[in-house]
Chain A
């Protein structure tokens, strides 16, 4: 098969076995298509092309990111291992050509040459309609907007055809960064309004099936659960014209087959392979493998502090001393994660998150602590995990189970199906479990508001409530809003120290995003949403 021979020659792959040439059914046109097309394989695909839709899944975010523009985006910097990494603190204009931050508002001037895919110019009216939509549709988009204190439609003001002003509800450091996440994307309001109905005033049904943005790519074909085909928008005004003309994104449920497709050179990129496969692919050296830690993300063991015996801090500390940290790193993750334990005893707390705890596996100490807490013979409990991520969670829980038995804590492993996981978390009745949380906005206080704050959000899975903690968190939020660096630093160190002392959740590691691509594919960028940005990718 000539197509494959051709691929071999461009990607420099060694022949993986005998290839018997078959009569060619291959034409020059097809070869061109191949070199200008990026073939991505992943386990699952989008269920909605619009991030404002009801229950849009994470693959859907990737479509939105590439097919819609925001007013602003982030600059790139060099991240871990030299991988281009979004710069949290530097913004660059995307649809806006100019951003002017005032005391209680920010004003954007729109690029005059920006056009939607159907050729209509992007106007201030579109911007207002889109932001109104994001704060009004409810569910996740509205919630994410709220995280940056963007909650009311009155906050978005059309100044003239090319100028929009956003009024701040209050001083909040997260407002501007929240305008650069995926949610506040600009939608072609005139086009979508045509399909809006009384029941569906925001035209969600229309944008579910087709993209109506001004982004660098547009969806030309979408077969749910099978493939998404995107083509470059040659009139894109948001940045330099992307190199890849066409993106074909195929769903291949079987991880082994995704790996085979990569190794045979048929697929260009895949990013959800088991850690073991990534390590082996890395060692074989045939592909480019990029591993970057999740920004603001931690896998942890959580304990419900409202349920005995985990209401006793000594018990929690005992568990933290009995976790087989290094074994988890080696046997479950094959080293593809950043340890969040075992910091040197004299290491000062940093103004950063995530950062490692000082806990190490110390069974003797754990036993002593447990005896001190009044459980010299241990106790019985359940250890729960989300089956949706069984590849990591299951071996991790088995190791924890084996280790806890040594201090007398007998655990029964409780596997919860993915569909049921969030319901169970929401009930806050699981005594002991493992989970992962990561926030889009990479600020320590953002993580802590979600996970440790007394208002007990769904991600405060431990039901941890502490006055001192709340004071530190809100102190840091307020200090950040007015730029009081000294107070901010004290408060961040304060809440990190308290979280490690009270230890309602035990940080284990920062997971890695693993992306495998052919040697001739370059330009991968790490983004807070951890999905692919096709606009920077290059296929040689």
Chain B
């Protein structure tokens, strides 16, 4: 197991180097001159040149690149110009916000989608199958920002059930002491139930938005994969042997149907990180997606590079976890690996 993890991590190194080079070049190829942008509205040519010098943008590209990689090696991602903060600190502060939201969205989605998919597969053509079809089609055809805005309009503006879409906490609460960066967990550790409640109520709408979006692929994949497994020989054998319906479905069919679902989950997770950008915008969520977009709009190189690099590392880790999960669910994969 450990050798496999080590091997996988080794394979990841070339791709990370590639990511570093490509993001560096791509951000430089972006239209827009950061020096002109940050010199402010009343800047003269000289003022812009002064800024360019301060930012080190007057140096040749190759020198800039070596400086950048050298800084990276020392754990320094550079400074964001739009927010004025070190990128590493910002990502560290913002990643938990995005992760908490994405994970909660995914958990909600899985809790609805998998039972829905299994039920639809065991009763094809029934009302629950149709319900599954309608929900998933609706979910996947609604753009996230639209779902988000509708939810805000209905539950905050019209009904007043939900708190103001002002980020992770109500304005008058302060964040719980930092342990994991996940407010729900931190609030529980601090036994501060009022903050927990506030954080949770802020999370419900954005998490629901993400869940609606991700329902479709998970539910459809569960249904398709369950149908295939249910039609296979070993399930027929199990049924013929007189095993109870639940044992057949849960122990035999479901476990075997999980592999493609897990693959889909990892893909959905990466989708969600992308979709997050829009959800974060709508809900003023201080996450990593809105951070990257802001930076991109103002040709702020350092955060964009930092963001892409962090995402690349996360994907490598995510894929690793998925591979290990395969092994846990299906021993055959372990042998082949």
Contacts and interface: CB of A to CB of B under 8 A. Distances in A.
Interface of A: 1, 4, 16-20, 22, 25, 30, 33-34, 37, 39, 41, 44, 46-48, 53-58, 138-140, 142-144, 208-209, 223-227, 248, 250-254, 256-257, 260-261, 263-264, 266-267, 417-420, 422-423, 426, 450, 457-459
Given A20-B161, A225-B83, A139 B298 contact: no
25 contacts: A1-B160, A16-B157, A30-B172, A47-B80, A47-B82, A47-B83, A47-B84, A54-B38, A54-B54, A57-B40, A138-B54, A139-B43, A140-B47, A225-B82, A225-B291, A227-B167, A250-B171, A250-B284, A257-B165, A260-B153, A264-B157, A418-B297, A419-B33, A423-B33, A458-B45
Contacts of A57: 40, 82
B327 interface: no
Contacts of B257: none
B36 A422 contact: yes
The main secondary structure of chain B at its interface with chain A is: loop
Given A253-B290, A254-B284, A266-B164, A417 B297 contact: yes
Interface string B257-299: 0000000000000000000000001111010001100100111
Contacts of B252: none
B160 A143 contact: no
Contacts, number: 170
Given A47-B81, A139-B40, A253-B284, A423 B164 contact: no
B334 to A, nearest CB: 44
Contacts of A142: 47
A386 B193 CA distance: 47
Contact of B172 (A34, A54, A225, A420): A34
A44 B194 CA distance: 29
Contact of A224 (B33, B50, B84): B84
Interface string B22-54: 000000001111101111111111011011001
A208 B81 CA distance: 11
B92 interface: no
A422 B47 CA distance: 13
A225 B284 CA distance: 10
Nearest to A263: B157
Contact of A143 (B47, B149, B158): B47
A142, A208, A209, A420, most chain B CB atoms within 10 A: A420
Contact of B50 (A139, A209, A261, A267): A139
Nearest to B93: A223
Interface string B1-40: 0000000000000000000000000000011111011111
A19 B160 contact: yes
B159 interface: yes
Contacts of A30: 172
Contacts of A263: 157
The 4 closest A-B pairs by CB, nearest first: A55-B38, A224-B83, A419-B32, A420-B32
Nearest to B291: A225
B268 to A, nearest CB: 25
Contacts of B172: 30, 33-34, 37
B247 interface: no
Contacts of A47: 80-84
B239 interface: no
B291 A457 contact: no
Contact of B32 (A138, A257, A267, A417): A417
A52 to B, nearest CB: 12
A19 B159 contact: yes
Given A1-B160, A25-B194, A251 B284 contact: yes
Contacts of B149: 254, 256
A132 B283 CA distance: 43
Contacts of A144: 42
Nearest to B170: A3
A426 B48 contact: yes
A225, A227, A248, most chain B CB atoms within 10 A: A225
B31 A419 contact: yes
Nearest to B157: A260
Given A225-B294, A257-B282, A260-B153, A138 B84 contact: no
Given A138-B47, A142-B47, A417-B31, A423 B36 contact: yes
